[in-house]
Amino acid sequence: MKKKGFLGTLLAVGLIALMGCTSKNEQSVDDKKEWVVATSGTLFPSSYYNDDNKLTGYDIEVVKEIANRMDKKVTFKELNVDGMLASIQNNSVDFAANDFSLSDSRKDKFLISEPIKYSFGSMIVRKSDQSGIKKLEDLKDKKAAGEATTSYMKIAEKYGAELISYDNATNDQYLTDVANGRTDVILNDYYLQKMSVNALPDIPVMILKDVYFNPSESGLLFNKKNQELKEEIDKTIKEMKKDGTMKKISEDFFGEDVSKKVDIPTVESVSVEE
């Protein structure tokens, strides 16, 4: 009888332990009261410093609203793209908010949230001569500006461009270098480029008309092991889309609603190995 009672006690203790583990796992998202979120602080209008020297932007304000609804505090950690990816992988941040899309090469390591932005790629060139570019094939031997290792730079490289790498540079530096001939072209997201060109009208650059590529969906980027947090945040993003909050934030920064799919110009599909 004593042996049976002892076994019963062990089973009971084991069951309690299992229940405790399950409860802790289920509450892991709720238990964490503050998020550390990686961003650049230099990507207008997604993540940048305004005239009052405050960090803001589309991705930043979306994260703040999500955190408010989920009763979390947020600390933003400013890094370049490689630094953001490394910090997600080593879990020194909870996720990243910097107009990220999920390339095929990243799918084994990262998860992306419910899309907060739909777009496609475009090119900024000089106004005076369009930098001698009329199509993607004209990138050969041109100087393409961007942050090393991004998919945009790899597309430029695929078409034979000379890569001029920048480390977390601001938009005015990028555009000025194209205008003065230090570089010839910038490949990046259409809406980011549109806002940058409109915000700096005195710099004589333009978006190359009707030369677009790679439709994209961008969102918040997570470690693949952080599925639970992603799912909870996805629910909140969907609520924000449904009640019109996402549209309002989008219009505040882009002047239009980029949070829903829209008809876009004919685009080319360009694949690169990453």
Cα–Cα distance for residue pair 131/208, rounded to 1 Å: 10
Cα–Cα distance for residue pair 160/142, rounded to 1 Å: 8
Residue located via tokens 């090393």: 148
Strand order across the beta sheet in which 55-56 lies? 42-43, 47-49, 55-56
pTM: 0.76
Q: Are 93 and 77 in contact (CB under 8 A)?
A: yes
pLDDT at 103: 74
Q: How many CB atoms are located within 10 Å of the residue 168 CB?
A: 15
Residue located via tokens 């790899």: 154
Write down the domain spans for the chain.
Answer: 29-118+218-254, 119-214
117-163 pLDDT tens trace: 999 999 999 999 999 999 999 999 999 999 988 889 999 999 999 99
- The answer for residues whose C-beta is within 8 angstroms of residue 25's C-beta and 6 or more apart is none
Which residues lie across from 144 on neighbouring strands? Answer: 163, 185
Task: Give CA angle at 83 (79, 84), nearest 5°.
Answer: 75
Which residue positions in the chain have pLDDT lower than 70?
1-28, 265, 274
Task: Pick 29-118+218-254's CATH classification: 3.40.50.2300, 3.40.190.10, 3.40.50.1360, 2.40.100.10.
Answer: 3.40.190.10
Is 119-214 in the same CATH topology as 29-118+218-254? yes
Cα–Cα distance for residue pair 57/36, rounded to 1 Å: 17
37, 68, 221, 257 from 99: Cα distances, Å: 13, 20, 9, 15
pLDDT at 1: 43
Q: How many CB atoms are located within 10 Å of the residue 244 CB?
A: 10
- The answer for residues whose C-beta is within 8 angstroms of residue 109's C-beta and 6 or more apart is 89, 223, 224
CATH number of 119-214: 3.40.190.10
Based on its alpha-carbon atoms, the radius of gyration of the chain, rounded to whole angstroms, reads 23
Q: Are 184 and 125 in contact (CB under 8 A)?
A: yes
Task: Give CA angle at 221 (218, 225), nearest 5°.
Answer: 140
